Amino acid sequence: MTRFAITLEYDGRPFMGWQHQDHGPSVQQAVEQAIHKITGQDVRVFAAGRTDAGVHALGMRAHFDLETKLTPFRLSEGINAGLRPHPVAVLACDIVDDEWHARFACEGRRYLYKITNRRAPLTFDRGLSWQVAQALDATAMHDAAQVLVGQHDFTTFRSVNCQAQSPVKTLDSISVSRFGEEIEVEVAARSFLHHQVRSIVGCLKLVGTGKWSTADLKNALAAKDRNALGFNAPPDGLYFVEAIYPAASEPE
């Protein structure tokens, strides 16, 4: 039995999220079915994170165990063929140590949230970015966001359906940058609560429009109450960017 690690890119719009669901297709299901097509084996694929319905990934790391003589290159080519026409692609495939685990070995995760700040309707980026027609002050959003950096009780920014044992998380960094009409919010932490990034972005939008101040965001955090939340940003603009592992555990 060989353990393979893969890096996946996917458009989350056709899926109910990463994890298997009874009420619709999932990315996990699509990948497992593609592996079965090429190997005839039923496997379970474990990912570094669980994206929600409509959320995308640029570099989701995952692993599975397989009995095969296929090289990583041939295996990735076969999986990509089996994934068609799903908007999912294997970007890299490697053999890793039997003890390596995509989720439990992960030391950090990075997310990106894309906002298109314009009045004209989205065309190419519909479903891939959150359109906000009101003018946003990205500098004010960035400055306010810094109150969230560090270890805090993020109950306010946690879904009521979150299964994490504790609402306490450490946000390593958060930045808000403008590139023309595009605004990008980048967030990094070891792990996140369910809906944490979307909840943060929703509140930062209120800051950007002038409805909230930095003090309002700080008070929402201190409230430790979901009712103090501004609102959740939609899944459209959210991307899982990267899973970070100890250098010694990753293939060369």
| Token digits of residue 39 | 């190997």
Q: Is 172 among the residues known to form the active site?
A: no
Distance CA(156)–CA(220), nearest Å, equals 7
The answer to whether 27 touches 77, Cβ cutoff 8 Å, is no
The active-site residue out of 11, 22, 42, 52 is 52
Closest CA to 2 of 75, 107, 59: 75
The answer to whether 167 touches 224, Cβ cutoff 8 Å, is yes
Q: Is 9 helix (H, G, I), strand (E, B) or coil?
A: strand
End-to-end Cα, the chain, rounded Å: 21
Which sign, positive or negative, has the C-alpha torsion 158, 162, 166, 171?
A: negative
Q: Is 155 helix (H, G, I), strand (E, B) or coil?
A: helix
Q: Is 61 helix (H, G, I), strand (E, B) or coil?
A: strand
Catalytic residue numbers? 52
